[in-house]
């Protein structure tokens, strides 16, 4: 323990850590004993030197992210225990060895007691994204720990941290396999097959967090004319097609997304003429769709990545949803989402409320959606709840 530098907090600043919040803000620090570089393991102490936790140091306003509130040695066996615990949760949810689903999130940062680390499992390949230098520096040990826990289930580990590490990080990551090699890019979610491009795709390559919401959508799709706006790999489109939609239009502004969607449609529904994909900007496409759709999905990228653009983001959600309310068929259903962490459930609800009021439509909330159990929220870290959705009946 003694070989780690010590971060000593100002008097009284230990309160949040005593309530197991894993972040230490730089303003709470009185002094540091020892030489600390970005990504180093440090121990955190109260002003009276009491041990509080151990974590990775970062530059920026969150100076330490705690991974244990006990005096542990963060070696291979420590990380094996962490992965075992995360794995047990996925097992409990029923995601391990499910025949029709072989994609899930294995590690969800703070939600799994591993701040700064995201791991998605894709049919044998674990795609790792370090959001802190501390996690990135120990990536080989993390890969080894995953192999120990997952055994045969895991054929390879791919590190895709070059885009997730902080912009100003002092390291130069190069993406690539840490363990094993590529076997397949094909995964299955609830019977739908997808080609996941973790090398070049967004985030880890697929939006695993919408699994349960996609399933719910399929129950609303029968006989409907569906618009899947911001389709990316086409996830919601397949749920709609499986659910018996009359027609499905997938829209995204990215050429790559349209290619992926079409490729995946071919894989699942070869020759199905109910589906068409359009490369278009969302507002542009929604200018002139009056009465054309009775089921619309709006799953845009995070409009706000930082607190200071929150208002702008809320305006964005309001404008987008106003369009949908104005144009959806009478008796239509709108699935609308926000994945911005800084936008709270209440913020989002208010933006949708304003949009409904502008359109003067009669709107009922049918479901309030969130993220699934493989994206758990640490009860002491409510900031981890990021995905919000509403299913709305528009009279
Ligand atoms: N619904 C998807 C995930 C959406 S990710 C799923 O279930 O997997 C957000 C998508 O929005 C990206 O594919 C991005 O290319 C697209 N996008 C971003 N800005 C856009 C815009 N202004 N108009 C249309 N699409 C946009």
H or E element in which residue 321 lies: helix 310-327
Residues 53 and 380: beta-carbon distance below 8 Å: no
Ligand 1 atom nearest to 337, measured from its CA? 1
pLDDT at residue number 105: 98
Q: How far apart are CA 369 and CA 80, in angstroms?
A: 32
CA distances from 307 to 53, 106, 319, 342 (A): 27, 28, 19, 6
Look at residues 234, 236, 237, 240 and name the one whose alpha carbon lies nearest to residue 219.
240
Task: Enter the tokens of residue 68.
Answer: 């244990």
Taking the whole predicted model, whether its pTM rises above 0.85 is answered as yes
For residue 169, is pLDDT > 80? no
Q: How confident is the model at residue 290 (pLDDT cuts 50, 70, 90)?
A: very high
CA distances from 118 to 130, 161, 259, 347 (A): 6, 10, 26, 26
User: Helix, strand, or coil here: 45?
Assistant: strand
Query: How many whole angstroms from 368 Cα to the centroid of ligand 1?
Result: 21
Ligand 1 atom nearest to 206, measured from its CA? 8
Protein residue whose Cα sits closest to atom 13 of ligand 1: 232
So what CATH class is 207-394?
A: alpha beta
Of residues 366 and 202, more confidence is placed in 366
Ligand 1 atom nearest to 301, measured from its CA? 9
Query: How many whole angstroms from 52 Cα to the centroid of ligand 1?
Result: 42
User: Helix, strand, or coil here: 206?
Assistant: coil
309-319 residue pLDDT tens:
899 999 999 99
Protein residue whose Cα sits closest to atom 3 of ligand 1: 232
CA distances from 147 to 12, 96, 181 (A): 42, 15, 13
How far does Cα 94 stand from its chain's mean position? 19
Protein residue whose Cα sits closest to atom 12 of ligand 1: 232
Task: Enter the tokens of residue 140.
Answer: 């080989």
Pocket of ligand 1 (CB under 6 A): 207, 210, 230-233, 235-236, 252-254, 257, 281-282, 299-301
Q: How confident is the model at residue 182 (pLDDT cuts 50, 70, 90)?
A: confident
214-229 residue pLDDT tens:
999 999 999 999 999 9
Fold of 5-68: 2.30.130
Looking at 14-23, 51-60, 198-207, 358-367, which range is the least confident one?
198-207
Residues 253 and 282: beta-carbon distance below 8 Å: yes
Query: How many whole angstroms from 251 Cα to the centroid of ligand 1?
Result: 8
Within the chain, all domains assigned CATH 3.40.50.150 are found at: 207-394
150-164 residue pLDDT tens:
999 999 999 999 999
Residues 169 and 130: beta-carbon distance below 8 Å: no
Q: What is the mean pLDDT of residues 301-328?
A: 91
Query: How many whole angstroms from 286 Cα to the centroid of ligand 1?
Result: 14
Of residues 167 and 7, more confidence is placed in 7
For residue 1, is pLDDT > 60? no
Within the chain, all domains assigned CATH 3.30.750.80 are found at: 76-188
45-68 residue pLDDT tens:
999 999 999 999 999 899 999 999
pLDDT at residue number 47: 97
Query: How many whole angstroms from 281 Cα to the centroid of ligand 1?
Result: 9
Fold of 76-188: Transcription Regulator spoIIAA (3.30.750)
* Average pLDDT over the chain, rounded to an integer: 95
93-144 residue pLDDT tens:
999 988 899 999 999 999 999 999 999 999 999 999 999 999 999 999 999 9
Within the chain, all domains assigned CATH 2.30.130.10 are found at: 5-68
Q: How confident is the model at residue 2 (pLDDT cuts 50, 70, 90)?
A: low
Q: How far apart are CA 106 and CA 182, in angstroms?
A: 19
Residues 360 and 345: beta-carbon distance below 8 Å: no
Protein residue whose Cα sits closest to atom 20 of ligand 1: 253
Paired strand residues for 224: none
For residue 201, is pLDDT > 90? no
Query: How many whole angstroms from 314 Cα to the centroid of ligand 1?
Result: 17
Ligand 1 atom nearest to 257, measured from its CA? 13
Ligand 1 atom nearest to 228, measured from its CA? 1
348-360 residue pLDDT tens:
999 999 999 999 9
Q: How many CA atoms lie within 13 A of 225 on its CB side?
A: 12
Testing ligand 1's pocket by substitution, the residue of 248, 301, 317, 324 carrying the most ligand atoms inside 8 A of its CB is 301
Q: What is the mean pLDDT of residues 85-100?
A: 95
Ligand 1 atom nearest to 281, measured from its CA? 23
Q: How far apart are CA 159 and CA 12, in angstroms?
A: 39
């Amino acid at each position: 323990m003694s070989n780690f530098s010590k971060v000593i907090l100002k008097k009284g600043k230990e309160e949040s850590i005593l309530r197991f919040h894993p972040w230490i803000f730089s303003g709470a620090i009185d002094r540091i004993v020892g030489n600390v570089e970005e990504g180093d393991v440090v121990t955190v102490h109260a002003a009276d030197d009491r041990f509080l936790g151990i974590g990775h140091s970062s530059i920026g306003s969150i100076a330490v992210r705690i991974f244990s509130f006990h005096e542990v040695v963060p070696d291979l066996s420590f990380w094996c225990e962490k992965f075992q615990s995360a794995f047990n949760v996925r097992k409990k949810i029923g995601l391990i060895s499910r025949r029709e689903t072989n994609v899930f999130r294995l590690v969800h940062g703070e939600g799994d007691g591993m701040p700064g680390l995201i791991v998605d499992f894709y049919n044998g390949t674990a795609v790792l994204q370090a959001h802190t230098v501390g996690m990135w520096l120990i990536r080989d040990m993390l890969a080894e720990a995953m192999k120990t826990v997952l055994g045969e289930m895991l054929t390879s580990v791919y590190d895709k941290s070059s885009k997730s590490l902080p912009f100003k990080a002092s390291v130069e990551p190069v993406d690539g396999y840490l363990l094993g090699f590529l076997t397949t890019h094909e995964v299955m979610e609830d019977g739908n097959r997808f080609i996941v491009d973790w090398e070049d795709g967004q985030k880890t390559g697929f939006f695993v967090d919408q699994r349960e919401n996609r399933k719910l959508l399929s129950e609303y799709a029968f006989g409907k004319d569906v618009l899947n706006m911001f389709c990316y790999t086409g996830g919601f489109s397949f749920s709609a097609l499986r659910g018996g939609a009359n027609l499905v239009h997938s829209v995204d502004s990215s050429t790559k997304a349209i290619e992926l969607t079409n490729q995946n449609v071919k894989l699942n529904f070869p020759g199905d003429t109910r589906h068409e994909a359009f490369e278009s900007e969302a507002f542009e496409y929604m200018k002139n769709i009056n009465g054309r759709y009775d089921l619309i999905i709006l799953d845009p990228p995070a409009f706000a990545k930082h607190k200071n653009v929150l208002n702008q983001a809320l305006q964005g959600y309001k404008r987008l949803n106003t369009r949908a309310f104005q144009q959806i068929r009478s008796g239509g259903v709108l699935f609308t989402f926000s994945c911005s962490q800084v936008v709270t459930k209440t913020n989002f609800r208010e933006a949708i409320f304003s949009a409904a009021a502008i359109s003067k439509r009669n709107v009922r909330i049918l479901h309030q959606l969130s993220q699934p159990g493989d994206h758990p929220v640490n009860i002491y870290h409510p900031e981890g709840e990021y995905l919000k959705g509403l299913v709305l009946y528009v009279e």
